[in-house]
Chain A
Amino acid sequence: MTNPNDPKWILSSSPHVFQGDTTARIMWQVVAALTPAVVWGVYAFGWRAAWVIGWCVAGAAAAESGALRLRGRPNALADGSAVLTGLLLGMNLPATSPWWMALLGGVVAIGLGKQVFGGLGQNPFNPALVARVFLLISFPVAMTNWAVPGGALADAVTAATPLGAAKTAVATHGALGDALAGIPWWKLFVGLQPGSLGEVSELLLLVGAAYLLWKRIIPWDIPVAFLGTLVLVTGAAWLGAPAKVVPPWFHLVTGGAVLGACYMATDMVTSPLTARGRWAFGVGCGLLTAVIRLWGGYPEGVSFAILLMNATVPLIDRFTKPRKFGWVPDAKGAAS
């Protein structure tokens, strides 16, 4: 028998057992959950989609490594967070994006979106969305050059997104007319539509989200509150003016609603801590998305909505403090 005196027993405070999930495992599982939609993007828009994502990830990884080196911190690429940011940014870009724009976006996402605030866990805004909005306002033409899905061969055909086409029709003719005619919603749902290379297949995005929900990596309340509010508000507007407003189910299956609600608004770092807070956050995202889409100058509003709601998270956290156990309103000195 080993002499119990011999070993150097490890001393540390309780608890002595742990659930086993790590930050890296969480990040890489989100990457894995996004893979089906990414593969679809490459299938639908050709290898240039993979090229765009590759440059985004490269830019994000380079900025992460460089910034950590400058700050004298250990390299943290293995935690997967920078790769995930690069991947998400790539999914938010048109497949026709030039390589330098993707690379710049990756660098901006990590540099301006994350490391300036102190790195992982410190950034108030979703880094991928910071970069996307930066690119959108800097290079508006390149950022709205939407390819038509059709496999690697059809690489020259571009068209407006369904939401963009609808917006243009209303702006020029005062009504939707036949802007959406002949587009069955299921075609949009499986991903046969122009749009950002990773957002077009709601079906595959939901498959990945279901996996993350099952693994309890993303909360269900943010996507449900986000998409539910979007449907309610756009639904009310549609009922009021069906000739001018896109029906609510089109709002769900086009644009970045599902990608944003399931993968960007649920970013742990930039969303509230408590269930009540997550509800408020999700409702806010859905509401702002609807307002921008219905009345804004842009056909799409998901990025702006999430970024604006990111700014409210410290406030939401403050006002949605968990309800503590043993809180009795009338007990003297007990309530606080």
Chain B
Amino acid sequence: MAARTFPLGGVHPPDQKHLSAAKPVEPAPLPDLLVVPLSQHIGAPARPVVKKGDRVLAGQAIGEAVGFVSVPVHAPTSGKVLRVEPAPHPLGPPQPAVIIEPDGDDRWADDLEPLTDPHGADPDEIRQRIQAAGIVGMGGATFPTHVKLSPPPEVKIDTVILNGVECEPYLTADHRLMLEEPDRILAGLRVILSVFGLDKGYIGIEENKPDAIELLGRKAREQGFAEVVPLAVKYPQGAEKQLIKAITGREVPSGQLPMAVGAVVQNVGTAAAIWDAVSVGRPLVERITTVTGEGVAEPRNLRVRIGTPVRHLIELAGGLRGEPGKLILGGPMMGIAHHDPDVPAVKGTSGVLLLPRDRVRTAPEGPCIRCGRCVDACPMGLAPTTLRTLIAHEMVAEADEWNALDCIECGSCSFVCPAAIPLVQAIRYAKGRVMARRRKGG
């Protein structure tokens, strides 16, 4: 039987997972300095509650949530607050951050009590706990998790899916987590199911991780409340809408959220973090990050405290190899290139990818030959080359008509383009222009 997948488009980049897939997760020693941004999620950045000179304990809140779509930020270890000031940020320009000098003791605050009955707790209590623990989507999008678990009362959620797809090439953090800590993931899934009063959930995993499918599949069968769904290896299989389509056959309507078809998707790492938050009372202060690529000496999977500068992680992976090309936070398809190794790993940092110069394409953009490969590759059924032409002429209304806003920015179009045209960048720009026009025009 062919593995399930999404129907439209998709590409097959070489997955390069062999570099790190067999490397068990190792704890990364603490760096000399932690740079903890107050904005590590989509939504309002946390407001700092510590100041220069304060002593903090691991797990202590150093920034508080500002509103519903916001989560607090916690000290990743014990130490001294050196400064609160703008610092390099993985998502763009510098953002306010708490700079902590670890004291080496790694002493933990003890103010978070575990829930007495994690699987029987009141849904609201669970949501509060998840927010208090600062949990966000750990697949990279960093949407606050408690918000996803709080659909409006009229919405009926009947499907919970854990995302173990990890379709970005090179990355193996989720793969290692599934192999090494399947019970944490399953326990977290059970907590999520209890929030919606459901008795069964799904875990989607790409077929290039047969060991994870086997292990989680067996445990899921034993425990009876989960089913592992093997999925075809095709990028972007891990995109939320594509994953829901593959597993349930339901298509999230354009412009709407997964809840419109009764589905909630959480990354496997998020599920594990949820379990920590409700069972041990531990806030989200660390994550697994794959440090990999042909540009690093010894690719590794590391358990990284939030705020660890990337420079430190590169050193832990044996340093650079070959002529340096790109330093990327995230995977090669959607990750962001950086020039400053002082940028810290945050809650959404699934990978630190180093590409040597000979792996970086520098070909100049050529004319479009209308080969249509971008159209065939688009998983959202768009015509990237048409959108790019329209927006090049500032035809914003037409770009809207051609569904620019449906682009999920997966980069499949740019990946296949033989003329090296930056298609996804053009559509990203088009989306901004379309949204501005809609706001203005109403």
Contact = CB atoms under 8 A, between A and B. Distances in A.
Given A268-B370, A334-B254, A9 B381 contact: no
A301 B362 CA distance: 44
Interface stretch (A152-160, A223-231, A323-331): A323-331
Given A17-B333, A321-B383, A25 B357 contact: no
A178 to B, nearest CB: 46
Interface string A7-36: 111111111111101110110000000000
A22 B416 CA distance: 9
Interface of A: 1-2, 4-5, 7-19, 21-23, 25-26, 79, 81, 119-122, 219, 268-275, 317, 321-328, 331, 333-336
Interface string B332-353: 1111111101000000000001
A273 B372 contact: yes
Q: Could you say which of B320, B339, B370, B386 has the most chain A C-beta atoms within 10 Å of its C-beta? A: B370
A323 B386 contact: no
Contacts of B330: 14
Given A4-B324, A9-B326, A11-B339, 6 more contacts: A14-B332, A16-B337, A17-B332, A269-B370, A317-B386, A325-B379
Given A4-B341, A275-B376, A324-B381, A10 B369 contact: no
A22 B381 CA distance: 23
Interface in B408-436: 411, 414-420, 422, 424-425, 428
Interface in B229-255: 241, 245, 251-255
Interface in B352-380: 353, 355, 357, 359-363, 366-372, 375-376, 378-380
B262 interface: no
B314 interface: yes
Q: Could you say which of B318, B333, B337 has the most chain A C-beta atoms within 10 Å of its C-beta? A: B337
Given A13-B424, A17-B333, A121-B370, A326 B418 contact: no
B383 A326 contact: no
**Closest 3 pairs (CB-CB, A-B):** A1-B319, A7-B324, A15-B411
Q: Could you say which of A12, A119, A335 has the most chain B C-beta atoms within 10 Å of its C-beta? A: A12
B315 A17 contact: no
B256 interface: yes
Contacts of B324: 2, 4, 7-9
A336 B339 CA distance: 41
19 contacts: A5-B341, A7-B323, A10-B357, A11-B326, A13-B424, A14-B333, A14-B337, A14-B414, A15-B424, A16-B326, A16-B328, A18-B417, A18-B420, A22-B366, A268-B372, A269-B370, A275-B376, A322-B381, A334-B255
B406 interface: yes
A2 B322 CA distance: 9
Given A4-B314, A17-B415, A328 B341 contact: no
Q: Could you say which of A11, A16, A268, A321 has the most chain B C-beta atoms within 10 Å of its C-beta? A: A16
Contacts of A14: 330, 332-337, 411, 414, 424
Contacts of A325: 8, 241, 245, 251, 254, 379-381, 406
Contacts of A120: 366-367, 369
B11 interface: yes
B415 A331 contact: no
A23 B418 contact: yes
Nearest to B419: A23
B332 A334 contact: no
Contacts of A273: 370, 372, 375, 383, 385-386
Nearest to B322: A2
Given A4-B320, A17-B333, A321-B402, A274 B372 contact: yes
B415 A19 contact: yes
Contact of B251 (A122, A269, A326): A326
Contacts of A219: 372
A23 B330 CA distance: 29
A326 B324 CA distance: 41
A13 B409 CA distance: 11
Contacts of A11: 326, 337-339
A278 to B, nearest CB: 8
A9 B323 CA distance: 10
Nearest to B362: A10
